[in-house]
Structure 1
């Protein structure tokens, strides 16, 4: 008998799987590189590479993941359960050191500030969201307050540009804006966004928080700036970013639902306290939510009692004001979704590089050389790339909307120029339709694809691997699941989409999308292999447009989800063609045609784009540097 007798394994001897090593995603993520090259001019790419490459290394460091583990293990709590030793009400929230350090790291790296430094003109938001994308898998949910802080900065900036502010209000808003856009953790603020009440989630029509105009002069905030002339009382059912320094909230006034700014704390010296303690601005935590995921993020039920604040904009126009924040937070949700998926795919790719499996008759091969596994991985990678393209189109459009006027493209002949609407008014019209579609479709599909990444590791993927936090897909999957819920569930956003289409500007929105599709599909080099697909996509959009125009809101409502996802599929198919045409990369062409066939947008395409080719699938997943190792004879 020539075979070697096997020895029994023990707790310390026998086979141990090599731990996957996650490479710097800035370089290793095929989709990130393609997105950057499609949406950014070469001059911007050259200037951001050093920062993003360094950032990509830092967020995978042991220090970062130690902070993540600390934030997850030492979850937030309210000291004393909300009472002092003698029963008086308090509201001291305690968060972990890991949470604070991750928050500071994000602030120092300009996660919010980059969007307001305007170094990159209309592509500033694309650059900012690339950094956010990389950061998502390593930040233990500090991106949630970052999203609301960014939205608050946008709102404050808009009103600071107005000549309608009084001198005190201007001073208060300027101080807050300087803090929420700061890179200095010692002075920076984060912001909450408080809308949700017990009467409804995204439906704020039943808001029971009441604001009364009752000016006083003696109070001052923590920065010695007078608190607002409005007294706010009510109850907020969900408040993420509970540890923030300020908030934007909705409250009822005699003229209707209105938006307010309020600091979280009052200046302790005016309240007669000792030791420079923070004194709540009439804001008290009732309890913290116990959630399926986002454990590190403090989400609370809050009672507002005598909270002092400032009106933002006009009374009764709260929905219009808060919508500026919603666009920002919905973009952040989409970027977080693809960020989580990108990290999950990076983990699955790394596992496939080190995991060996049986291949029959004593042969073994690496998982990355398994035709079945790589076919599955290529599907995930293709879905991920389509979602990434849509997300960064949103970032580009947002950046364009923030320029006045919309600038002429830096490189008129580039593919990016074909994605930029000719008319500045079309940018705003497209944002109204595409942002609810973007948030709903990208978040929903990313969750499913991320679960596939978790499954790609087998049982290990299902474990809460805090001992190897870098590969802990279970954690990021739990956290990703909330993204299809907050800032509007899928059904809520589908209803929003229909309201846009059937609203008084519905035809203008449809015309703007028409023009964008025509320009984007006509801006490439016109490769013959895409001609049929372009015709089919245009026909699909025409059919959908006709239906939106002919049927009433009531007739369309039961199919609102289907309509939302159809719009998403059409936008992504346009983007995939533009992406594939601009450099004729074979893997990108294959991803494009596979998507079009899978989503029934065309039956035309090159046979070689069909699934099953191991080499092509490896290129889709790993890029052109993919290496195939031959099957190895088992030594067993």
Structure 2
């Protein structure tokens, strides 16, 4: 298909054109269920590759706007969303992108149904997924921990399939000191004599003030433990242009990417609030929200990689260099093959996490799967986020100079991807979190069992070798950890990222091999080729490095003693933002 004069590349139906998604659904979904959802996915794929893609390019230069004062000088703090986001919210509701997970029409497969829809929709909506993640997380948090009256009030709106009644929810945790260390939260909650609560403080980075509600962490006085409570805060009524009293939007954030996400600085000056659960139980209550947000992050990462590859493929088929399409050039197609393999590894790792989330919510998760789910959540988030930035950087290069030109939409993909390693925990924070999870009873055994499950599913020599490579990387990582623990906490922390990425990539390789065995009858040599291309990139990142020398290099002190830094040490752990 030739590209139109206004586009650098064309897109086909994004469901029909996605062999990876279709083959995966053929393998994991019961045939009756797949037949039931396929029509919806096909329609969504047509929208994503057609009308929504056109609107995305048309809306490319628009950002949400803040009007702080009305014509009479009154404070209105009205945020106007762009046309693309307004359309995206309508499609989210009508196509059940949130609701499908909670209607439980397909039991433990309901999350697969939901995230297949999200995976198709999100690449064309410029990071709408961040707001949908907090909305989804709010729904699960209220179901798990909310009072009956709060659930009855909010849940029908959060799960509505009607754009007129659909609500979104923000998540307001981050303050000036950062978002990972919750002990730094300074927003306070005061209980009035009549039992009502009011919040006072400054939220430096809020996911959205255009949402109808938010879940907000605040510090409650005279409470044991960390003193944090999670509150439900109504932001605005449906159709209202201004937030409720006590909520002021100081400014919109001028961000590198995710520009259509109306991230704001918010002042809370007596905002009405209700505790979601018990007072002082805020950290524990956050668990479902954090897990779901990290899952959405991975789905966003895989969707963006898939979109970039689809555009680059079409471009390379229609762009000629020295008399032939560039897709016929050996170096180009070898590069594209490696990017495709990376995407497929990320896809199968992400949807393995989605499978476990669905089993948990359906009450069908075993103890070993519960341990695996706990470890996979941070591992999948950090692994796929880093892969998305790397893949989309290469995708930009695949277009040559055109990939650097804003009106093609390609730079936007890369900028958006760079939000993924930052949101809900940076790569380093996720690495320490994963390490912390793995050191709990049963977690290492769960990862080992997952690799063994993949080993048992393969019987082709090339695929058996791939799983053995994955198991070898896992064993090497375990040996490194044992040695690092003997050396002390600094050595453990210094190698945590390499350790986590080794485990993430090892799991991707094993899952790719397992899926390839199933697809061999239909895909032939392509099934093993993707596994071999992934393995060839290297999955074992464990290497002997002395952490004190890393300290010297990082600080670049010319006069620093070679006998090691006189630097403060840590205990090699982070305080997780929520109980999992």
Give the whole-Å Cα distance in 2 for the aligned partners of 1:70 and 1:383.
Answer: 30
Q: How do 1:312-391 and structure 2 match up within 5 A?
A: 312-358=276-322, 364-391=323-350
Which residue, out of 488, 500, 504, partners 1:568? 504
Which residue, out of 562, 574, 577, partners 2:513? 577
Q: 1:38 to 1:208 in 2, by over 3 A?
A: same
Give the whole-Å Cα distance in 2 for the aligned partners of 1:52 and 1:116.
Answer: 18
2:370 aligned with 1:428: yes
Equivalence for 2:263:
299
Give the whole-Å Cα distance in 2 for the aligned partners of 1:16 and 1:402.
Answer: 48
Q: 1:149 to 1:529 in 2, by over 3 A?
A: same
Q: 1:308 to 1:348 in 2, by over 3 A?
A: same
CA positional deviation for 1:267: 10
Which residue, out of 398, 416, 433, partners 1:496? 433
Structure 2 counterpart SS, 1:310:
strand
Provide, for residues 509-544 of structure 1, a one-character-per-residue CA deviation record: whole Å limited to 9, x for no partner.
1112222222231134x2234334433432332232
Equivalence for 2:526:
587
2:473 aligned with 1:540: yes
Q: 1:530 to 1:92 in 2, by over 3 A?
A: closer
Q: How do 1:91-106 and structure 2 match up within 5 A?
A: 91-106=77-92
CA positional deviation for 1:196: 0.3
Q: How do 1:151-170 and structure 2 match up within 5 A?
A: 151-159=137-145, 165=147, 170=148
Q: How do 1:60-99 and structure 2 match up within 5 A?
A: 60-62=49-51, 64-65=52-53, 67-69=55-57, 71-79=59-67, 82-84=68-70, 87-99=73-85
Q: 1:279 to 1:150 in 2, by over 3 A?
A: closer
CA positional deviation for 1:457: 1.2
CA positional deviation for 1:298: 0.8
Equivalence for 2:353:
394
2:152 aligned with 1:213: no
CA positional deviation for 1:76: 1.7
CA positional deviation for 1:365: 1.3
Give the whole-Å Cα distance in 1 for the aligned partners of 2:57 and 2:7.
Answer: 21
Which residue, out of 446, 449, 457, partners 1:523? 457
CA positional deviation for 1:601: 5.9
Equivalence for 2:575:
none
Provide, for residues 422-458 of structure 1, a one-character-per-residue CA deviation record: whole Å limited to 9, x for no partner.
xx11222112211111111101111110121121111
Does the Cα contact within 8 Å between 1:24 and 1:60 map onto a contact in 2?
yes
Does the Cα contact within 8 Å between 2:257 and 2:419 map onto a contact in 1?
yes
Which residue, out of 245, 256, 273, partners 2:212? 245
Equivalence for 2:24:
35
Q: 1:98 to 1:579 in 2, by over 3 A?
A: closer
Q: 1:450 to 1:229 in 2, by over 3 A?
A: same
Equivalence for 2:401:
459
Q: 1:257 to 1:340 in 2, by over 3 A?
A: same
Structure 2 counterpart SS, 1:73:
coil
How does the TM-score come out when normalised to structure 1? Answer: 0.79
Q: 1:72 to 1:457 in 2, by over 3 A?
A: closer
Does the Cα contact within 8 Å between 2:11 and 2:50 map onto a contact in 1?
no
Equivalence for 1:51:
40
Give the whole-Å Cα distance in 2 for the aligned partners of 1:295 and 1:545.
Answer: 41
Give the whole-Å Cα distance in 2 for the aligned partners of 1:57 and 1:267.
Answer: 30
Give the whole-Å Cα distance in 2 for the aligned partners of 1:516 and 1:174.
Answer: 39
2:377 aligned with 1:403: no
Equivalence for 1:598:
537
Does the Cα contact within 8 Å between 1:497 and 1:564 map onto a contact in 2?
yes
Provide, for residues 461-505 of structure 1, a one-character-per-residue CA deviation record: whole Å limited to 9, x for no partner.
11112xxxxx52222221121111111111111121122233xxx
CA positional deviation for 1:44: 2.4
Structure 2 counterpart SS, 1:438:
helix
How does the TM-score come out when normalised to structure 2? Answer: 0.86
* Count of matched residue positions in the alignment of Structure 1 and Structure 2: 528
Give the whole-Å Cα distance in 2 for the aligned partners of 1:519 and 1:473.
Answer: 39
Q: 1:88 to 1:392 in 2, by over 3 A?
A: same
Give the whole-Å Cα distance in 1 for the aligned partners of 2:466 and 2:395.
Answer: 30
Which residue, out of 130, 133, 139, partners 1:144? 130
Does the Cα contact within 8 Å between 1:69 and 1:98 map onto a contact in 2?
no
Give the whole-Å Cα distance in 1 for the aligned partners of 2:153 and 2:94.
Answer: 19
Structure 2 counterpart SS, 1:304:
strand
Name structure 2 gaps, 5 residues minimum.
Answer: 542-580
Segments ≥4 residues shifted beyond 6 Å: 15-18
2:283 aligned with 1:283: no
Equivalence for 2:12:
23
Give the whole-Å Cα distance in 1 for the aligned partners of 2:436 and 2:8.
Answer: 50
Equivalence for 2:548:
none
Q: 1:374 to 1:528 in 2, by over 3 A?
A: closer
Q: 1:354 to 1:182 in 2, by over 3 A?
A: same
Equivalence for 1:261:
232
Equivalence for 1:623:
none
Give the whole-Å Cα distance in 2 for the aligned partners of 1:498 and 1:263.
Answer: 37
Equivalence for 2:386:
444
Q: 1:600 to 1:145 in 2, by over 3 A?
A: closer
Does the Cα contact within 8 Å between 1:39 and 1:396 map onto a contact in 2?
no
